Structure 1
Amino acid sequence: MTAGPFRLGPDDPALGQVLALIRRCFADMDGRIDPPSSVHRLTLETLADQCNRGEVWAIGAPIVAAVVLTPKDHLLNLGKLAVAPACRGQGLARRLVELADARARARELRALVLQVRVELVENHQTFARLGFVQVAATAHPGFDRPTSLTLQRALAAAP
């Protein structure tokens, strides 16, 4: 079984692995989405800041899956969910979503929420299988068409 999930702190040397994984996993969006992904602005410093403002969780040694969790407006936002291509289909994204669900319940939040780009239809399908439904469509500044979808998932009943 793959190690984790485990929480990383702002000084954790494994944040470099998380950053590299996210960059690798989001690289195929280049040229597919407009505007370009915010992953291009992600640095070790901003990832460490995410550890302070929210939580960064990972699976594996070396790290093969990761997610950033940030509470906002009674919801828990899932950001930069990444699973190494060679490890997809093994339930790692599901494990991270279930972890997020447990963390949201522990914080007494209402639901999980995430943003997905309109063009990334395969991601829409993946998140639908994980229980997410579309609740909004939004446009990045300067765009007159939706560029992102907001997906939400109700929390699982407490065990």
Structure 2
Amino acid sequence: MTDIILQRLDGSFERWQELLALILASFAYMDGRIDPPSSALTLTPQLLKEKAKNEIAYVAFYNDQLAGCIFCRPELDSLYIGKLAVLPAAQGQGIGRRLLSLAETTAWEHGLAELRLETRIELTGNHITFANWGFRKTAENRHAGFDRTTSIEMRKVLV
């Protein structure tokens, strides 16, 4: 039987280069599909380490391999979900759902009743996946310098 093991990132985590590789592999399908390019391309192991200090982050292990991550940031009325990533070879195993479940628990612990995320306008498959997970589109946004919608905001009300 295969287990998914979830762990909150803390000072004992040292696999930053591997975490970066996981995020880049997970986001690679976006290359050439989204404009502007993903901010994941600007990450470094040191930036991830700092991000984990300033946010609430979890990693998932699948078959003893680092296979997923999620970064969460409490906001005024919601918990922002960023850099939700699952290694392509581990997708379809429930890792993303398990990480989002941790985000829901984290939101409740911070007195927040909603999750919020942004996904690129071109990634319609993500829109469908997040809708299937209970998120609804709440806004359209554009990156600085763009005169068109580049991303959508989605929220999930926690019950």
TM range (shorter): over 0.9
State the Cα distance separating 1:74 from its structure 2 match.
2.5
8 Å CA contact retained: 1:2, 1:59: no
Letter in 2 for 1:44: P
Q: How much identity, in percent, do the aligned residues show? A: 39
TM-score, length basis structure 1: 0.92
8 Å CA contact retained: 2:81, 2:116: yes
Runs of 4+ in 1 over 4 A off after TM superposition: none
| Corresponding residue number in structure 1 for 2:66 | 63
| Corresponding residue number in structure 2 for 1:47 | 48
What secondary structure does 1:9 align onto? coil
Q: What are the Cα deviations for residues 58-87 of structure 1, in whole angstroms up to 9, with x where unaligned?
A: 111321111111112231111111111122
| Corresponding residue number in structure 2 for 1:104 | 107
Letter in 2 for 1:68: F
* CA gap 1:114/1:10 in 2 versus in 1, 3 angstroms: farther
- Residue 82 in structure 1 maps to residue 85 in structure 2: yes
- Residues 8-157 of structure 1 mapped to structure 2, 5 A cutoff: 8-10=9-11, 12-60=13-61, 61-156=64-159
Letter in 2 for 1:28: Y
Letter in 1 for 2:27: F
Structure 2 unpaired stretches of 5+? none
Q: What are the Cα deviations for residues 118-143 of structure 1, in whole angstroms up to 9, with x where unaligned?
A: 00011111111110000000000111
Alignment: residue pair count: 156
Q: What are the Cα deviations for residues 46-65 of structure 1, in whole angstroms up to 9, with x where unaligned?
A: 21112221111111132111
* CA gap 1:134/1:10 in 2 versus in 1, 3 angstroms: farther
CA RMSD of aligned residues (A): 1.3
Letter in 1 for 2:29: D
What secondary structure does 1:26 align onto? helix
Q: Which stretch has the larger CA shift, 48-57 or 134-143?
A: 48-57
8 Å CA contact retained: 1:8, 1:14: no
Distance 2:96 2:7 in 1: 14
What secondary structure does 1:5 align onto? strand
Letter in 1 for 2:156: R
TM-score, length basis structure 2: 0.92
